């Protein structure tokens, strides 16, 4: 084989290697970007007022039922499942007349709201949970274990924060839903929850911490992924890069007859 043919072969091999490396980088970069993108953004649910209309889950005669609509009905149900018994407990045990009166009213109204929410869910054939979330049950246990001034403070601040969280979800659905039943249920829930926040604040025990949204219900938007999610994204990036490189290397191993044909072609060049 001539010097020219060997040079041409090396040139072709170099170009082939460059193409393969470019392919590896392109695929790895794309998959890695997708991995980081998938682990960033809104956590624990959609942001209030955004991304509410994903895929229609139920075709209803009352209008399309979106995932956010169902999530709101579920959130209202779970709120009632822990706030009503917690309020009943505080209404019995609190030594603060104002807190006791507020807790008694919240307990009564939560039962009414809970039944209204159940009626709406039944009309839409939406199955509601029968128990609060583990975090809500933890709040309930914390209130149950407290007494005296600590009981009043914990009850007011936990329930005020929880009401503020669910209020955001209700208001967002109320302003965007296309379902008549959900719109009506959201309007009723919004009225109840807003009044409950005012009642809790009227005790004078609600602190600035009680105005925050708890991470267990609705998390704020994260422009960058959380640390754990970032590590998962990097792991996905490395795995994809290694797998792509392995596929390219296996594909580059030509059969002996193919190599001979290429060498013969180069010799005739």
CATH 1.20.1260.10 fits 67-211, yes or no: yes
Q: Is the pTM of this model over 0.85?
A: no
Contact 222, 37 (CB under 8 A): no
Categorize the per-residue pLDDT at 241 as very low, low, confident or very high, splitting at 50, 70 and 90.
low
What local confidence, expressed as pLDDT, does residue 92 receive?
97
Higher pLDDT, 249 or 136: 136
Per-residue pLDDT tens digits for 90-143:
999 999 999 999 999 999 999 999 999 999 999 999 999 999 999 999 999 999
What local confidence, expressed as pLDDT, does residue 218 receive?
38
Domain ranges of the chain: 3-41+225-268, 67-211
What local confidence, expressed as pLDDT, does residue 140 receive?
95
What local confidence, expressed as pLDDT, does residue 62 receive?
79
């Amino acid at each position: 084989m001539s010097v020219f043919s060997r040079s041409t072969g090396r040139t072709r091999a170099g170009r082939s290697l460059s193409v393969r490396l470019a392919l590896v980088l392109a695929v790895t970069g794309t998959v890695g970007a997708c991995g980081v993108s998938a682990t960033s953004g809104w956590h624990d649910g959609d942001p209030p007022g955004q991304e509410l209309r994903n895929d229609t889950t139920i075709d209803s005669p009352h209008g399309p039922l979106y995932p956010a609509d169902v999530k709101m009905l579920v959130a209202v149900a779970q709120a009632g499942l822990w706030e009503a018994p917690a309020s009943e407990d505080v209404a019995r045990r609190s030594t603060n007349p104002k807190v006791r009166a507020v807790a008694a009213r919240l307990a009564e109204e939560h039962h009414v709201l809970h039944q209204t929410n159940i009626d709406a869910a039944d009309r839409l054939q939406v199955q509601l949970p029968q128990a609060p979330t583990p975090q809500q049950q933890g709040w309930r246990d914390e209130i149950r274990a407290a007494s005296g001034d600590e009981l009043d403070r914990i009850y007011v601040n936990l329930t005020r924060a929880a009401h503020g969280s669910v209020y955001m979800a209700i208001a967002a659905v109320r302003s965007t839903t296309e379902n008549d039943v959900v719109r009506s249920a959201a309007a009723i829930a919004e009225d109840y929850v807003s009044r409950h926040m005012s009642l809790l604040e009227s005790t004078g025990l609600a602190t600035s911490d009680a105005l925050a949204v708890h991470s267990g219900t609705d998390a704020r938007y994260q422009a960058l992924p959380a640390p754990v999610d970032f590590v998962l994204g990097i792991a996905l990036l490395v795995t994809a890069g290694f797998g792509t490189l392995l596929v390219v290397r296996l594909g580059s191993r030509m059969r002996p007859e193919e190599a001979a044909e290429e060498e013969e072609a180069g010799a005739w060049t």
